[in-house]
Each structure stands twice: as structure tokens, then as C-alpha cells.
Chains A and B, each alone.
Chain A
Amino acid sequence: MSVPARNPELVVDGFPPRRPRWVEIATSADHKDLGRVLIAGALGFLLVALAELLMMRLQLAIPENTFLNPVTFNRMLSLYGATAIFLFAVPLALGFFYYVAPLQIGARGTALPRLGQIGTWLFIAGATVLYAGFLFTPSEAGVNPLPPLSGIAFLPNNGVDAWAAATGLATLGFVLLAIDLVATLRRLRAPGMAWRRLPVFSWAATICSWLVLVIGPVMLAAITMLLIDRNFDGIFFAGDAGGSPLLWQHLSWIFYSGAYMLILIFALGAIAEIVPVLARKPLFNRGAVIGSLVAIAVLGTLAWMQNMFTAPIGIGWMYFAMAMSLALIVPFGLVFFNLIQTLAGGTVMMRAPLLFAAGAIVAISLGLAAEIEHSMVAVGWRLQHTTDSTAATHFALVGGAVFGGFAALHWWFPKMTGRTMGETLARFSFWTMLLGALVAFVPLMLAGTEDGQVIDAYKFFGGAGVTTYNLIASIGAFVLAAGILMTLVNAILSRDGGAPAGHDPWRGDSLEWFALSPPEPHNFDLPPDVRSARPMRDIRQAIAHRGARAERPAGESQPVA
């Protein structure tokens, strides 16, 4: 007589690989493979962006330095901007969304996998174009290449064309990925996974995908116009021929403002997954957090003219942009309030993801608080275009993409690889990064506010009172880079050498923890049945309940499964 297993479990071994792993990944349309390509690519470009940042900080360590000549500095600056935004922050966020969201909604894949595949490889193609341009002449037009400087008359070499082609390809890729995510989140949710039960990170994925569908085409239009102006005698941005240089500023700032919000929504979405689970409490008010994330996307993008207070636009438009920016205090404040209220009364497990999440909240709040000053029109006239704006943006985006991104990395790394990242190295990395960020950016804030040090300049002068600030900031940048490097090393070492994690290492609430670690190609054998906003907790409780029944004295009949 055979004895049925008390807790029967479906275990499926993967199909034997037919081809080498890299061929499998390069030809895969599976959201997990593509998500890993996006995340790994983004982290690789984080390293490149860091190298460029450090080169610039070395140049700016002492007054009137000659380490980099002006042209090289402007090329570094242009590459750094494109790399940090288009090749690191946005693809990192989309990569996590693309990997995690289908698992969280209990889907077996994405709705339009080939679209996601094309999108991912367009991002790689854009990155290749940008750095193939590095071999001949990178752009010299800065982070945001404003016409007429980026026009053919002032930069006749093909650097700006390479920049435009690279960012255009990457942006097109993001739009295709966003279409796939929108379709997946609308159509492929598991039975019972109503919108009101959707995990916050999947909500963030939905919001950010729609946001990309709004801002991506705007940037593509601007880039197309720039290419037409440069190569086919267009006049879109030619002020004397009926076009307007301000048109580029409006279009590009819509994209950059939206992308800024995307990065923050990604970070807050991930933090809102981590905090409740590690505090062992439900999110204090899910509806308020989700509604706030929607408001952040809408208001933050509408505030694009906040970046144009020095431009010749009407004062009414400036007040409108200020109203939108200041209104952001409400949704951001509500999200932070709810996260802190979620911690209150819980049992807080201070693991690496929560540490990085806390660091992200600190850095983001510092950056956004400084942005409040930049949004106040008259103060904006003083502070914008100074290193204070560099520092504010870096606090917010390093907080979102690096601290928030690393929180997400530590959180979902066990799901992706089956292993946890080393906790000790994570702690060292975190404290080094936090120290580095504060030491790197606070002096820049002071230099900008007190002495008006301007942005993007390849040198500063000794008599301006900013010498000490810049030296300290350069040292801080190296400390920050060392901390970031530790986490990247940690990820590489833990990929094969980390402690085995099991399928649900954090005792999570959402369905990605129901899949194996790493998940099978089809994600789930059985589509999970969703009854609440915390389906994985329900499943765990059901198993515990069944386990308790199984402990009853012998003699009673036991149903199998």
C-alpha cells in the first residue's frame, strides 16, 4: 500500500537546454530573461556612468585644473547624462518591472513578448550606438543638448547625431516595453487579481508604463526634429527662420521630468513592497499610496516648465509650473507618511533591502526638499543652473535609481538567482554609499547656494570661494563609487556563491514568491487563486492550516490534496 504524501507538491524540472545559455538569452522572448538583460545592462552602465562622473569630479577637484581639456569634459558630461538616464536609471526600473510584474500578477508570461524582446534589444542597440560614437566623436552638447548649440552650425561633427540616434533607439525600446507591460497588466492577471488587489509594485509598473507611453513619443518627436534640423536643413529649432529653440526645451523637459518621476515611482513602488513585508504589517493605506503614485506621475510631468524659469517664457507659465511642483508635496508626503506608519507598530527586520530602502527615503527626501526651493520662481532664478540643482537632482535620482534600485536588487535577487546577496558586504556597501552621497552632494549644495557656482563648467576659479567645497565633493564621489562597487561585486559573487534562498525567503505577500527561485520558464504550474491583496500570505496560511489538520490522530480519513 502506498502512502500519499502529506503535503503534495508539484515539482517540475526544467527542460534540458538545447543550446548554450547565451544563445538562449539572446533569442529569448521570456520576460525573465529580458528583465535580466535589462537589469544587468543597466548595472553595467551604472559602472560606466560612475567612471565618467569620477573623471569629471577629478577635473573639478582643484581650481583651474587641466586634467581634462574643455572638449573632453563636455564629451564626458554628455555621455554621463545619456548613460545615467537612458542606459542606467530608466532601463533598470523597466527591467525590474518587466521581470517582477508578470510574476506578481500570476501571469505565465507577457502579452506581447516579441515587442518586449525588440524593446530590450533596441535599448542594447542604443547603448552600442552611443559608445560606438565614443570611438570617433561623442556629443559635446551637454546633458540636455539645447539647440542652437546642438545644431549643425555649432557642432558640425556627428557627435550629436550619435547622441540622438542612441537616445532615440533606447527611448523607442522603452516605449515598446511599456506597451507590452500595459497589455500584460491589463489582460493577463490571474483569476481574482482585481486592480484593487494588484501589488503596489505592479501598480507602479502600470503607472510608469503609461507614463512612458506619454513622454517617450514626445522625446522621439524632439529627437527626430533635431536630426532633421541637423541633416536635412530643418528649421524646427532655428529661431531666425520661424522655428524656436524653446520648442526643444519644452519637449525635452517633458521627457526628462517624466523620467525623473518614473525613477522615483519605481523606487517608491519597490520600497512599498519591502517595508510591509519586513515590518510584518500590511501597508498602512494601499489606496492612498497608489493614488499618490498616480498623482506624482501626472503632476510631476506637468511641472516640466519648472526647469525653464530662466528662459523667456511668460510669468504665468512659471506660476503654473510652480503650482504643479509644489502640489507634489502632497502625494510624496503621503507616500512617506504611509511608509513610516507601516513601520510603526510592526516588527522591523533590518535586512539589507530595508536598509537600502531607508537610505533611498533619506536621499529622495533631501533631493525633493531642495527641489521645493528650485520650484519657487524667484528662488529658482537664483538656484537653477547652479551646482545646487546638480546636487538636488543627484540626491533624488541617486536615491531613486541607486539606493532604491539596490533595495529592489537585494529584494528580488533571491527570486532571480535562487541565492541571497551577502548581508555583511551589503551593510558595508550601504553605509559607504550613504556617507559618500552626503559628502559628495551637500558641499555642492552649499557651493551653489552661497557662491552661485554654475553647472556643467569644466573648471572653476580659485577666488570664487568654492575650492574647499569642490575638493570635498570630489572625495565624496569616490566614496560613493566605492560603496556602489561593493554592491555590484556582492551581486556577482552571490550569483553562484550566495546562500541558497528558497522560494520565499522574505515571507512575502505577493505572488512572485509563489514561483520557484529562479522561476520556471512558464512561471507557474497552476494559475494561483487570488482572494486578497496579500495572496501569498493566504497561500502560506492555507498550507499551515492543512499542515495542522494533518497532525490529527491516525484513524481519521485524510483527503489527498
Chain B
Amino acid sequence: MAPHSPGTDQIDILLWIGFVAAAILVVAIVGGLLYALRRFRAERGAEPRQITGGRGFQLRVGMALGVFAAAIFVLSIVYTEKARETPPTGAAGLQVSHSEPLKITTTGQQWQWRYDYPNQAFSYYKLVVPVDTAVELDLVSTDVVHTWDVPDLAGKRDAVPGKTSHVVFRADQEGTYFGQAATLSGQAYAAMRTEVEVVSPEEYEAFVEGEKKDIQAAQDHVVNLIENGEVP
């Protein structure tokens, strides 16, 4: 897994900060425990010292831990705010969406993802987006709770019926990124995967126009069938 969006870059940094903080605490606790258990074995034959700690000592230890927690809290807010920002579309991106992110309505349904592009084209399973372009997915669900998760591009978000959640990212490299739905949604949950194909703006335009034409052609075909009386 490697971050390919400004948001996931920030998440990656914060993940390392969290890992270091967690490692410090684990090493301190487990190390202290093992040292005390080995150093003060009964076999050494000493008398147990009947000492207890005073309130001031506890207060100082508590304060130190509190400062540690507060530092993590502040760093988390700083990096979370950075990760939440909608990045501006870059020079190589789709220029139409320079001021606003490219909005794609993403619908979770048992057990696939549907992507509705601004020009009424839509696709299932595969999302095609232009590189270096700010993209905003508006997540909705038609049935149960699904979680959209393509870890290289963005943090995961739930699609909850009756609510809209938002995911923003800006893919910095062309390529294919895989993702898997991350909330149990029924029988075929494990097969509910998705794929984000990041292409150049020209290829993106061609794709959505092609999709639109295909969909239009299919609709015309159905209309023709009905008019010819071939469909009751």
C-alpha cells in the first residue's frame, strides 16, 4: 500500500506518529514489567520493602501521561484537518473542474458500487477519474450500510441510507487502485470490490462520452423495440 493522494500522504504521516507513540508505551510497560519481575524475584531472598507512593508522585506521573496524550491529540487534529482538505486540481488535471472538485455520485448497493458521472454517464465496479484532479465522491446507499475503501487514495467512509458522506482525493499517478467494501453487508460482501482507474484528462473525457453514447444507444434500442411492438 502506498499513498497516492494528498490526503493519504497526511494519513501516512499520522499513522507513523501513532505507531511511534504506541511503541513507546508498549516498550515502557512491557519493559518495566519484565524488569520488575526478573529483578525482584523472591529467590533473591530480600525482605519486601513496605513502601507506597505519595499523591504528588502520582500527580507527576499522571501529568506526564496527560502531556503525552495531549500532544497526540493536537498532532492528530493538525494532520486530520490536512487530510480533510479538498486539494486543488493540479496543472495536469481536468481543467473544467479547476474551481470545484469533480463530483461523482457513488452508490453502494448489495453488492456493487455504481458511479454516476456529471454528464449522466455511469459505470459499475470501475471508477474512472482523471489524474491530478480533485475528485469528490458523494456516497449514498440504496439498501444497507456499505463502506467505500480504496486505501491508496482516501480514508474509508460509510454509505448510509438516507445520508450522504463525502470522500475527496486527488490521484497523483495514472494507474489502477483496488478497493474492497469494508462493512459486512450480507452474503456477497467479500466479493464487493471496486477499482479506480486513474487516466489522463483526455482519456477520461473519452471514457465518459463513450459511456454516455453507449447508454444512449441502449436506451434508443429499447425505445425502438417498444415502438415496434416487440416489447409488450
Interface residues of A (CB under 8 A from B): 70-71, 74, 77, 140-142, 146, 148-149, 154, 239-240, 244-246, 279-288, 310-312, 315, 319, 322-323, 326-327, 329-330, 333-334, 336-341, 343-350, 358, 361-362, 365-366, 369-370, 372-373, 375-386, 449-452, 454-460, 464
Given contacts A344-B40, A454-B149, 19 further A-B contacts (CB under 8 A): A148-B144, A245-B160, A279-B40, A285-B57, A315-B84, A319-B80, A327-B69, A343-B37, A347-B41, A347-B42, A348-B37, A350-B42, A365-B29, A381-B83, A384-B156, A452-B1, A454-B180, A456-B189, A457-B189
CA distance A220 to B32 in the complex (A): 42
Interface contact B162-A244, CB-CB below 8 Å? yes
Interface contact A346-B190, CB-CB below 8 Å? no
Pairs A-B, 8 closest by C-beta atoms: A381-B155, A239-B162, A369-B22, A373-B18, A457-B190, A385-B182, A343-B36, A280-B48
Interface contact A456-B184, CB-CB below 8 Å? yes
Of B15, B46, B181, which contacts A382 at CB under 8 A? B15
Which residues 164-204 of B have a CB within 8 angstroms of A? 164-165, 178, 180-190
Give every chain A residue within 8 A of B47 (Cβ-Cβ): 347
Give every chain A residue within 8 A of B158 (Cβ-Cβ): 310-312
Interface size on B, residues (CB 8 A): 83
Give every chain B residue within 8 A of A451 (Cβ-Cβ): 1
Query: Is B23 located at the chain interface by the 8 A CB criterion?
Result: yes
A-B contact count (CB 8 A): 260
Q: Which residue of B lies closest to A369 (CB)?
A: B22
Query: Is B231 located at the chain interface by the 8 A CB criterion?
Result: no
Interface contact B48-A347, CB-CB below 8 Å? yes
Give every chain A residue within 8 A of B180 (Cβ-Cβ): 452, 454, 457
Give every chain B residue within 8 A of A286 (Cβ-Cβ): 52
The segment from B60-68, B90-98, B129-137, B209-217 found at the interface with A is B60-68
Q: Which residue of B lies closest to A329 (CB)?
A: B69
The segment from B71-79, B99-107, B115-123 found at the interface with A is B71-79
Known: A285-B53, A362-B30, A458-B190. A311 touches B21 (CB 8 A): no
CA distance A362 to B36 in the complex (A): 13
Q: Which residue of A lies closest to B38 (CB)?
A: A348
CA distance A288 to B53 in the complex (A): 10
Give every chain B residue within 8 A of A350 (Cβ-Cβ): 37, 41-42
CA distance A338 to B52 in the complex (A): 9
Interface contact A377-B68, CB-CB below 8 Å? no
Give every chain A residue within 8 A of B189 (Cβ-Cβ): 70, 456-458
Q: Which residue of A lies closest to B41 (CB)?
A: A348
Of B1, B21, B49, B72, which contacts A450 at CB under 8 A? B1
CA distance A406 to B72 in the complex (A): 34
Give every chain B residue within 8 A of A319 (Cβ-Cβ): 77, 80
Interface contact A377-B40, CB-CB below 8 Å? no
Q: Which residue of B lies closest to A327 (CB)?
A: B69
Give every chain B residue within 8 A of A459 (Cβ-Cβ): 190
CA distance A548 to B95 in the complex (A): 96
Query: Is B161 located at the chain interface by the 8 A CB criterion?
Result: yes
How near does chain A come to B55, taking the closest CB pair, in angstroms? 7
Interface contact B160-A239, CB-CB below 8 Å? yes
